[in-house]
Amino acid sequence: MTFQEIKQLIVENIGKNVIVGEETTGLQPALIINPDYITEVCLELRDNKNTWFDFLSSLSGVDYGVESGKFGVVYHLSSIIKKHQLVLKVFRENDRNEQNLPVFKSVSSIWRTAEWHERETFDLFGIFFESHPDLRRILLPDDWKGYPLRKDYKNAETYKNIKIDL
């Protein structure tokens, strides 16, 4: 299926308010999805016989910068059988307060591999995934302060009284 056909399929099967934009100038075209509908879109794309996106090849967090005040998640989907790929993007505005993490719905019930991708995104960006079965740090120690891939992150000088020399 073409990008436009996939876009039309989503609109027909889920609704007009689901797709809030698109990016067609990069190497891979992307649909920008209303974050409230990401699980419905992913489930439709996985189960629809015309798309059959059976593989989540990547899920990553994005910090759009302090000035923009928003965080996002990018999903790279592939269909091994149909031999096509698609990129989905979602974003939310957030005040960057570590007590108020940006929240997105988990897609781990759709693709099991998302469990690891979402844990890494949580660990490094502080993006919380609602309904994730085991959301906790995966790369950093459990007691690490902050989220190192945020654009406003300040490198720690010590960890457990050990100097960190970068």
Residue with tokens 């910090």: 63
Torsion of CA 10, 15, 16, 21, to 10 degrees: -40
- Over residues 104-140, the pLDDT tens digits come to 999 999 999 999 999 999 999 999 999 999 999 999 9
Confidence band of 166 (pLDDT split at 50, 70, 90):
low
- Over residues 58-75, the pLDDT tens digits come to 999 999 999 999 999 999
The DSSP string of 50-93 is TT---EEEEEEEEE--TTTTEEEEEEEEEETTTTEEEEEEEEEE
Residues 15 and 134: their CA atoms lie apart, in Å, by: 31
Domain limits, the chain: 3-163
Domain 3-163 has CATH 3.30.460.80: yes
